[in-house]
C-alpha cells in the first residue's frame, strides 16, 4: 500500500499545483474521512482496527484524485463514507470487496451528483475536459495533455506524473505489466479500428492521455483485491478493460468510461479466474518440458 501511495505523490502534487488549495482540501477531506470511517466502523463492529495497513488511506487518496478540484466540501465526505462503509467494510473488509472502493464511490457520486462531479475549473475558468471537447470535434494541445495543463479530476490531468508513479510501481514489482499494458494496448487498437479517426496519432494520443485512462490503467485496474490473480487472467482482464473502455467512449453517452469499464470488469473477475487456473508444473508433456 505504501508503495502505491508513494507512486501517487507526483500526480497528487501536480494536482495541487495545478488546481491550488481546493485540490489539497479535497484530498485531505477524502483521506481523513476514509481512515476515520474505517476506524470507527471497526471499533463499532468490535473488529481489529487496521489503520496502519494504509488501505483506507489509499482509498481516500484514490477517490480524491478521481474528483474535480473545488467540489463542495460534503462531496468528498459522502464519497469516502460510501467507499469505506458500503463498498469495503460491508463486504467484509480488506481483501473481500469485489469492486474497487474508490471507483465504486466515484460512480456513486457521478450518478447522484452529476453536476458537481462534472464541473471542472482550471485557472478560475470552468471548462469542459479535453475528452468532452474531443467529442465535440475540437482538440486540446497534446503537450498540455501530456504534462497536465488541462481541466479534469485532480489526479488524472498529468500523464507524465502518472507515468512516473507507474514506473516506480513496475520497477518495485508492486504491479505487473500485464494489466496496464494489455489495457492500454487493446484500447489503442480499438480506437484505431472503431474510433472513426483511423490512425490519427493526435486523436489516439488524446484518447490515451485523457479521461483518467492512465490513472485507471496503472492505479485502479491493477488493484490487487479486484483484479485477477492468475497471470493469464490478468491479460484477459486487461483486454476486456480496453475493449469496454473503447465501447463506452466511442459508442456510449459520456466521454469518460474508465470507471465504468473497471467496475464492470471487476464483476467478471471470479469468472476470469475460474477459467484461467494455470496448468500445474509437470502436467504437460514430459520430454520436451512443455
**For binding to other proteins (CB under 8 A), which residues are involved?**
50, 53, 55, 93-96, 176, 224-225, 227, 229-231, 273, 277-289
C-alpha grid cell, residue 39 = 476506524
Q: Which is nearer to other proteins, 28 or 277 (CB)?
A: 277
The 3-state DSSP class for residue 104 equals: helix
Distance CA 51, CA 36 (A): 9
Distance CA 242, CA 233 (A): 14
Rounded to a whole number of angstroms, the minimum distance from the CB of residue 86 to other proteins is 18
Rounded to a whole number of angstroms, the minimum distance from the CB of residue 179 to other proteins is 11
Q: Which is nearer to other proteins, 142 or 174 (CB)?
A: 174
Collect all residues with Cβ–Cβ distance below 8 Å to 228 and sequence separation of at least 6: 234, 236, 237, 269, 272, 273, 276
Q: Which is nearer to other proteins, 59 or 159 (CB)?
A: 59
Distance CA 119, CA 129 (A): 9
Rounded to a whole number of angstroms, the minimum distance from the CB of residue 216 to other proteins is 18
Q: Which is nearer to other proteins, 54 or 204 (CB)?
A: 54
Rounded to a whole number of angstroms, the minimum distance from the CB of residue 65 to other proteins is 20
Q: Taking the CA atoms of the chain, what radius of gyration do you get in angstroms? A: 19
Q: Which is nearer to other proteins, 43 or 47 (CB)?
A: 47
Distance CA 10, CA 5 (A): 10
State the maximum Cα–Cα separation within the chain, in Å, rounded to a whole number: 69
Rounded to a whole number of angstroms, the minimum distance from the CB of residue 229 to other proteins is 5
Distance CA 267, CA 98 (A): 7
Amino acid at each position: 500500500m505504501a508503495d502505491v501511495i508513494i507512486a501517487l505523490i507526483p500526480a497528487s502534487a501536480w494536482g495541487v499545483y495545478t488546481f491550488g488549495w481546493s485540490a489539497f482540501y479535497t484530498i485531505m477531506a477524502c483521506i481523513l474521512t476514509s481512515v476515520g470511517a474505517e476506524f470507527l466502523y471497526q471499533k463499532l463492529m468490535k473488529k481489529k482496527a487496521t489503520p496502519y495497513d494504509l488501505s483506507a488511506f489509499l482509498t481516500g487518496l484514490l477517490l480524491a484524485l478521481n474528483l474535480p478540484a473545488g467540489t463542495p466540501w460534503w462531496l468528498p465526505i459522502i464519497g469516502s463514507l460510501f467507499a469505506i462503509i458500503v463498498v469495503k467494510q460491508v463486504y467484509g473488509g480488506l481483501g473481500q470487496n469485489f469492486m474497487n472502493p474508490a471507483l465504486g464511490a466515484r460512480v456513486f457520486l457521478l450518478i447522484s451528483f452529476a453536476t458537481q462531479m462534472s464541473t471542472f475549473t482550471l485557472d478560475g475558468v470552468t471548462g469542459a475536459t479535453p475528452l468532452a471537447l474531443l467529442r465535440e470535434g475540437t482538440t486540446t494541445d497534446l503537450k498540455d495533455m501530456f504534462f497536465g495543463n488541462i481541466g479534469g479530476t485532480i489526479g488524472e490531468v498529468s500523464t507524465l506524473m502518472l507515468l512516473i508513479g507507474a514506473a516506480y510501481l513496475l520497477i518495485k514489482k508492486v504491479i505487473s505489466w500485464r494489466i496496464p499494458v494489455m489495457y492500454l494496448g487493446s484500447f489503442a487498437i480499438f480506437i484505431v479500428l472503431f474510433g472513426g479517426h483511423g490512425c490519427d496519432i493526435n486523436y489516439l494520443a488524446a484518447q490515451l492521455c485523457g479521461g483518467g485512462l492512465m490513472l485507471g490503467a496503472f492505479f485502479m485496474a491493477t488493484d490487487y483485491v479486484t483484479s485477477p490473480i492468475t497471470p493469464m487472467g490478468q491479460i484477459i482482464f486487461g483486454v476486456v478493460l480496453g475493449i469496454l473502455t473503447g465501447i463506452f467512449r466511442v459508442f456510449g453517452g459520456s466521454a469518460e468510461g474508465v470507471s465504468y469499464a473497471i467496475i464492470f470488469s471487476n464483476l467478471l473477475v471470479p469468472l476470469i479466474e475460474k477459467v484461467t487456473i494455470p496448468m500445474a508444473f509437470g502436467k504437460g508433456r514430459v520430454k520436451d518440458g512443455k
